[in-house]
Structure 1
Amino acid sequence: MAQSGVSVHPDCITAFNELKLGKDTKWIIYKISDDWKEIVVEETSKQADFGAFREKLLNAKSKNKRGEEGIGGRYAVYDLEYDTAGEGKRSKITFIAWCPDDAPQYPRMMYSSSKEAIKRALNGLAADIQANDADDIEYDSVISRVSKGR
């Protein structure tokens, strides 16, 4: 359980293991449930379409404590394949914590304080990116950070 009291639903680990072992799933988006009690799977995809994945993050909504919907955070895992100069194709399972700077305070606090719980539950992550604005999740930016091992 996270510092925030948010737990990780077992389906999150199952979906991650399917991505990691089966290689059928290309990405997973996780969210904190509307009651702010657990991290759940929001969506998975078998399509390696980074643009569609990025749009899902940019358009994510969360409800505040009063039930009003606004800009929201997400956690995501992407099985990122990329070419390296002289070394050929590489693949890294990349964790992205998406929490836009303009999101309301409560979702930002909850996503920030629950991040370690989901990361600990997902064994086998190769890269970790904290993304706070749209530029942080541009394809070239993500590839640059992942290929440098950050």
Structure 2
Amino acid sequence: MASSGVKVHQNCIDTFQELKLGKALKYIIYKVSDDLKSIEVVKQSEDADYDNFLKELPEDDCRWAVYDFAYKTADGGDRNKIVFYSWAPDNARVKSKMLYSSSKEGLRKVLNGLAVEVQGTDLDEVAHETVLEKIRR
């Protein structure tokens, strides 16, 4: 349970394991449920198009996401890292930002295998090149 009292729904963990081990899923979007009691999966997708993933992040509300980020190493090898996104756009309500901020650790703790965390308040901070640069560090 997160410090906010919001519980992580078991489906969040199961879907993450599917992404991590099954390699079919490309990303998962999570949100706080409408009754503010749990974290739930909003969308899971096999679509590898990064721009389509970004379109799933709302302009005026917070979300968390996990993305299986594929990239090439300096020597040309193929690699993947699972990236955790904490999305809190500038035009989200303050109450929503506070709830998501205080609930984030509860979700992160149960998602074993995350390599990188990206915090985004606008699309520039979650752009492909920006995330790739952070992964390669």
The TM-score with structure 2 as length reference comes to 0.96
Equivalent AA in structure 2 for residue 142 of structure 1: V
In 2, the alpha carbon distance for the partners of 1:145 and 1:9 equals 29
Provide the residue aligned with 1:46 in structure 2: 46
Question: What residue in structure 2 maps to residue 115 of structure 1?
Answer: 104
SS at match of 2:56: helix
**Deviation for aligned residue 1:102:** 2.1
Q: Please give the alpha-carbon distance, in whole angstroms, between the structure 2 residues aligned to 1:54 and 1:18.
A: 21
Displacement of 1:87? 4.9
Is it true that 1:98 corresponds to 2:82 in the alignment? no
**TM-aligned CA deviation for residue 2 of structure 1:** 0.9
Residue 31 (structure 1) aligns with:
31
Secondary structure, counterpart of 2:41 in structure 1: strand
Residue 146 (structure 1) aligned with residue 135 (structure 2) = yes
Deviations 1:43-95 (A, max 9, x none): 000111110000111x36xxxxxxxxxx1100000000001211511110110
1:3 maps to which residue?
Answer: 3
Task: Provide the C-alpha distance between the structure 1 equivalents of 2:9 and 2:34, rounded to a whole number of angstroms.
Answer: 14
Report what 2:62 is aligned to.
73
Secondary structure in 1 aligned to 2:92?
coil
- Structure 1: stretches of 5+ with no match in the other structure: 61-70
TM-score by length of 1: 0.88
RMSD of equivalent CA atoms: 1.0
Runs (4 or more) in structure 1 with deviation over 2 Å come to: none
| Stretches of structure 2 lacking an aligned partner (at least 5 in a row) | none
